[in-house]
Amino acid sequence: MEKMARILMVDDDPSIIEMTKMSLESEGFYVESQENPVIALEHLKTNQFDLILLDYFMPEMTGDEFVNQLRIAGDNTVILLQTGYAEEDHPIDLLKSMDIQGYFDKTKGVDELIMLVISMVKTIQKVKE
């Protein structure tokens, strides 16, 4: 990757954040994290990222509510929705109904996530060229 991609990870599980952040940083990504989606939305008003890794089920709001508020604010950052409850919502339905660009089932493991993130970042960078 030519430039270090900036990633914001929004997830209410500190252990998931820690493991994922370490793995992504070892691949050369710049990663910030936020456990509270409300604070993350505020942070996005003054900070730009190439990709947002967004947990779907969080106490303060769902991923769907987060995306709606982000898009209303005019932020078109690429979003990879993550969930550990893939059986509850069909991925294709979520991709169609939400303004997101990717979906990841957390049960697939961090190696699969890294592969997906690298692919998405390459696409984002290609589009920007």
Q: Where exactly are the structural domains of the chain? A: 6-128
The pLDDT score that the predictor gives to residue 128 is 86
Indicate the fold that domain 6-128 takes in CATH: Rossmann fold (3.40.50)
Summarised one tens digit per residue, pLDDT across range 18-54 is 999 999 999 999 999 999 999 999 999 999 999 999 9
C-alpha to C-alpha distances, 71 to 6, 34, 99, 100, 113, nearest whole angstrom: 19, 18, 8, 10, 24
Q: What is the mean pLDDT of each run of 10 residues along the chain (129 residues)?
A: 82 95 96 97 97 94 94 95 70 76 90 95 91
The pLDDT score that the predictor gives to residue 2 is 47
